[in-house]
Amino acid sequence: MSDSLLEVSALTIRGEGVTIAPVDFSLARGGRLTLLGETGSGKSLIAQAIMGTLPKGLSARGELTIEGDGFAAAEGAARRALWGRRLALLPQEPWHALDPTMRAGAQVAESHRYLRGLGRRRAREAALHDLAGLGLAGAEARLPGELSGGMAQRVAFAAASAGGAPIVIADEPTKGLDAPRRDAVVKLLAGTPERGGALLTITHDIEVARRLGGEVIVLRQGRVVERGPAEQLLSAPRSDYTRQLLDAEPARWPAPPPPPATAEEPVVEARGLAKWRGGRELFCDLDLSLRPGEIVGVVGPSGCGKSTLGDLLLGLAERDCGEIWRAPGQRLAFQKLYQDPPAAFSPHWTLARLLEDLVRRHRLDRDAIAPLMARLGLDPALLARRPGEISGGELQRFAILRVLLMEPRFLFADEPTSRLDPITQRDTLALLVELARERHCAVMLVSHDPALIERVCDQRLVLGGEEAERVPEDLAALAV
Amino acid sequence: MSATTLFTAGRAGRRRLATRQRLGLGLLGLLLAIAWLTPWLHDADPARQQLVRILELPSLVAPLGTDHLGRDLLARTAAALRLSLGMALLSVISAAVPGILLGVIAGWRGGWVDRVLGSLADACLALPGLLLVLLLVAIAPGNFWALYVGIALVLWIEYFRVVRARTRVLVASPQLQASRLLGFGPGYLFRRHLWPELAPQVLTLAAFGAASAILAMAALGFVSVGLRPPTAELGLMMTELLPYYHEAPWAMAQPILALCLLVLSLNLLAGKDPR
């Protein structure tokens, strides 16, 4: 079995309300495996169990074979010596994994120096070579805060793989990245098996699984629902759950109903709008108008000013040029939904308390809450919990409830579902659209997924198309 | 900074104290009891001299003995503890209130307000704390109020800095923006968003601040620039009893031990250092 790099047999994880049923898989040289599943399906725990970094209160059982050496999954500390040399982990949200006070080149050189034992100068040269290979030549002197998300991802990859580990584990490597950057990361990851390593990817993005190929394991609530080769499983799923998961991809959503004909006055209108940031023009001469019940989608690469446009319309940011006209008299009818639901609530109070505050502040009708909660599929028992104690999807629906109580005329939804699972995303967006139409509320929906915008929105607005960050053409070829 | 909290919110939402904090609270309670119950249970004037009974060993009449002027040591130590604790409370309140208020204003408004207040804090920091207190004491010698204003003036900066940094982050956060869009005013934003985040850090600072105020006062007393005799004050008592160290070590041990325990209890209560 010299061909097998990583073999996992009967791996189970137990503790505090989590159970992962026995999982078996093996990765040969050049092998690629994708664990696919929604949040809470336990896919990240499997990666942590392999690395030996399970959180306190959880324990693993089973056998691991790494390059022919056997390990008991329960003894996590024993695998510490393998980190970087034989096992490499590419963490979620790499800008959090990089040291914010250390320059990019030094972070990569550090791995070369301490893992491969190179001298100071040789390590520095190796780091520069790595970075240049990833299309980051000239970025070695920058701090992580000065790098874009995609660049930070590549620096983290360089630092993680500098030790030459043949087994690479990528935990949600494409979370929060837009489509072109996601594809670049996938290419980067695909380079590992091409060089004779093994790649284990954890994701909830079906497109990533499809592009990586290899074997796919679908997980749900800690159980393996289905497994098989990617092409077969993703084109002809056998289990209901996999089918649901695939149907939740925006590209497969039903076509939107034709927009309702409306001749009403626009809720918000902008003429010749322009905004600069950091000496760069985000957009200029932008005209738009939103009528009640209309859904307008905004797409564009990260950093192109999508959120800024919404803040301008809400009056939260100052415009540099142009005119904005809002329907008079209703400042509170302009509301916003946030990308990260927990960040939009104070974590210290129960939801009941927060809703009560709102009702008292504006003398709202208490009786309106219960039917709306039922409509949004929210259990009244959730009211006794705090924002951090319910799921992201539920909390986002609470956020929708909160803004709907204000009887909004214009709602700016800033990637409201980008952190949710595909199935939750579809249901949440469908509800949002339905309620907005019913209540004659104009919605401006931001997303980095063009397919989603196409399925949901009446109009589409593309920002910063030509200024998208350039990603090297063929990273896989360069990364060797 | 978020890892250092005076109170750790429990799973059920109740505030639980760590073991060391409970220990600190118990010790502080004991010292408070000694300080305030002694005058009720033991009838002796801390300033009354009895020159025929100097440096007596502990007995039933004077449970902790007498000092070089025949004054009752139990009464004096209790009076000194009362003074120290009252002083600590007063200086903590008068440092925390302006510190929090100015910190929130600076963090919230930003711009020139932030710069002016920040420079003010830097100006206060430019002088060593004890020197600033010495300056004020030199202006009004032996005055309790000069001492207390000086200590408060040194201590407010810590609150200001911590509160300002946290407020800046929170003001830019989506949770505050969301509440503002929902039509809530500054009072609500402070109560629901800012205070729950600030409270643990401010309370930790308050416990540390109380300890440093007590130490500062004792240090000034020891070098005889603080309060004047015959006031019973921990530092002053140490200086007075120092010459009789060989004859009556138990007498000098008392203010030292009281100061140690007092500062220890407050430091235990504070938990980890927030800096």
pLDDT value at B6 more than 60: no
Q: Which of B175, B194, B197 to mutate to test binding with chain A, by most A CBs within 10 Å of its CB? A: B175
Determine the Cα–Cα distance for residues A87 and A163; give it in Å rounded to an integer: 9
Residues A205 and A283 in one domain: no
Residues A241 and A347 in one domain: no
Residues A352 and A428 in one domain: yes
**What was the pLDDT predicted at A465?**
56
* CA angle, A219 then A220 then A224, to 5°: 45
Position A477 in a domain = no
Residues A130 and A26 in one domain: yes
**What was the pLDDT predicted at B115?**
92
Cα dist. B15→A4, A204, A216, A433, B19 in Å? 51, 37, 45, 42, 13
- Looking up tokens 């200024």 gives A467
**What was the pLDDT predicted at B13?**
38
Confidence grade of residue B275 (pLDDT, cut at 50, 70, 90): very low
Q: Which residues of B touch A (CB under 8 A)?
A: 13, 173-175, 177-179, 181-184, 188, 192-193, 196-197
pLDDT value at B270 more than 60: yes
**What was the pLDDT predicted at B1?**
34
**Architecture in CATH of B17-270:** Orthogonal Bundle (1.10)
B178 chain-A contacts, CB cut-off 8 A: 336, 338, 344-345, 399
* % residues pLDDT > 90 (chain B): 9
Take residue A325 and report the two structure tokens written for it: 């006209």
Whether residues B183 and A362 touch (CB distance < 8 A) is answered with yes
Determine the Cα–Cα distance for residues A249 and A382; give it in Å rounded to an integer: 28
Question: Closest approach of chain A CAs to the CA of B199, in angstroms?
Answer: 12
Position A32 in a domain = yes
**What was the pLDDT predicted at B254?**
86
Residues A281 and A315 in one domain: yes
Residues A455 and A416 in one domain: yes
Confidence grade of residue B105 (pLDDT, cut at 50, 70, 90): very high
Take residue A157 and report the two structure tokens written for it: 């990859």
Give the pLDDT confidence of A98-130 residue by residue, as tens digits: 888 888 888 888 888 888 888 888 888 888 888
Take residue A458 and report the two structure tokens written for it: 């009446």
Residues A217 and A334 in one domain: no
Residues A209 and A351 in one domain: no
**What was the pLDDT predicted at A339?**
85
Whether residues A336 and B177 touch (CB distance < 8 A) is answered with yes
Count of domains forming chain A? 2
Confidence grade of residue B104 (pLDDT, cut at 50, 70, 90): very high
Residues A161 and A292 in one domain: no
Out of A293-297, B11-15, B112-116, B251-255, pick the least confident: B11-15
DSSP collapsed to 3 states, B130-172: HHHHHHHHHHCCCCHHHHHHHHHHHHHHHHHHHHHHHHHHHHC
Mean pLDDT of B155-169: 90
**What was the pLDDT predicted at B15?**
53
- Looking up tokens 């579902």 gives A417
Residues A421 and A317 in one domain: yes
**What was the pLDDT predicted at A472?**
38
Q: Which of A336, A343, A361 sits opposite B181 (nearest CB)?
A: A336
Give the pLDDT confidence of B192-210 residue by residue, as tens digits: 888 888 888 888 888 888 8
**What was the pLDDT predicted at B163?**
92
Residues A113 and A202 in one domain: yes
Residues A27 and A141 in one domain: yes
Residue ranges covered by each domain of chain B: 17-270
State which residues of chain A have pLDDT below 70: 1-2, 16-17, 40, 176, 258-263, 278, 302-303, 329, 465-480
Question: Closest approach of chain A CAs to the CA of B178, in angstroms?
Answer: 6
Q: Of A197, A217, A252, which closes a domain?
A: A252
Give the global pTM: 0.73
CATH number, position A143: 3.40.50.300
Domain containing A217: what range? 4-252
A345 chain-B contacts, CB cut-off 8 A: 175, 178
